[in-house]
Amino acid sequence: DAFDGLSDEEIRTTICNANGTRSSLFVPEVSFDLLVRRQISRLEQPGLQCVDLVFDELQRIATQCEPPEFQRFPKLRERLLDVVSGLLKSCVGPTHMMVGNLVKIELAYINTSHPDFIGGSKAVARLMEKMNDDHQNATNGNADGGRDNSPGLRATSSLGDEVSLSSTPYPSNIENTNQVNTLNGGPTASSEKGGLMNFIFGAKKTNTGGPPRIVQLPQVPSIMRQTDHPTTDREKIETEIIKSLIESYFSIVRKNFIDMVPKTIMYFLVNHVRDTMQNELVADLYRDTMVSVLMEEADDIAQRRKTCDEMNGLLKKALEIVNEVRDFNTFST
């Protein structure tokens, strides 16, 4: 999902942080860049899990495709499985690295010029069209025929009217302006009781002749969050635009990632093991010093062979006795 682990509140906070202390006329591109990189980086873990699943499946196939003759030679079977398992493990590392590099390649450059990317102008046009349709439906469904005076609905899909999105300033900027006026001794300092100077030194001074009172500043929170003022229409529009851009670009990256991960696994893991397995087995097993050790039979197999040899000898002796008895009967008649 393009918005897995990403809420509208986080998008709104990122846009405000990108704007800084001043409100921008347009949606900041930095917020889109930060958020889309965060979502792209989440693709790495599923890709690595896919590599691990293929590795486990190859190991299972290696243990199940052994011929029944290997049961006679347990040391040869054990050595062969060790060679195959070592070859598979040696290929997992480069495959993991390449899958990680695919994500790093996508993070290295955000190609907003991609032909399949929706772009800012189309995102704004679609949003304005959607808002106009919703407003039209709400107007048709309103029984009293009331008119919605929301500032965001006055905007049209044309790029020339996009400046109207900035007509509603952030409340945080109003508060900052009030604080600046308070510090400068402006009219807000005399009319507002919640100004910065009044907050630090108090609205009233009771003991003018006594020692100065100790200033108690609020404790800095461990996590900085945006103020809890209600979301404005401008912020809603900016959030929807960023979400549209993230969804469009993330779908492009996800499509490329889904196509490249299987190809990477086939090249670095499956095909490499298939092409080099015979050479690895010949180099590791075909040694004069190891032939006698690897071809040792299991203890139960040797015991069974010894028992069969003894039974074969007894049966031959019994056959000879039977033949002698038959010959004796023939001569006596």
Q: What is the rounded average pLDDT of the residues 1-8? A: 80
Is 121 or 50 the better-scoring residue by pLDDT? Answer: 50
Give residue 284's pLDDT.
85
Q: What is the pLDDT of residue 168?
A: 37
Among 162-171, 216-225, 263-272, 287-296, whose mean pLDDT is lowest? 162-171
Tell me the three-class secondary structure of 47-83, residue by residue: HHHHHHHHHHHHHHHHHHCCCHHHHCCHHHHHHHHHH
Per-residue confidence at 303, pLDDT binned at 50, 70, 90? confident
CA 14 to CA 12: how far, in whole Å? Answer: 5
Query: How far is residue 90 from each of residues 61, 85, 94, 112, 248, measured CA to CA in Å?
Result: 17, 9, 8, 38, 38
To the nearest whole number, what is the mean pLDDT of the chain?
75
Give the per-residue pLDDT at 12.
80
Picking from 30-39, 117-126, 203-212, 256-265, which range would have the lowest pLDDT averaged per residue? 203-212
Q: What is the pLDDT of residue 226?
A: 57
Supply the pLDDT for residue 178.
43
218 or 210: whose pLDDT is higher?
A: 218
Residue 108 has pLDDT above 60, yes or no: yes
pLDDT in tens, 110-165: 998 888 888 877 777 877 787 777 777 888 776 455 444 444 444 433 333 333 33
Confidence of residue 106 (pLDDT cuts 50, 70, 90): very high
Please give the average per-residue pLDDT across 55-74, as a whole number: 85
Average pLDDT over every residue of 79-100: 93
- The span from the CA of 164 to the CA of 178, in Å, is 24
Residue 68 is predicted with a pLDDT of 77
Q: Which range is most confident: 84-88, 114-118, 148-152, 167-171?
A: 84-88
For residue 164, give the DSSP letter.
Answer: G
Contact 152, 127 (CB under 8 A): no
The whole-number average pLDDT for the span 259-273 is 95
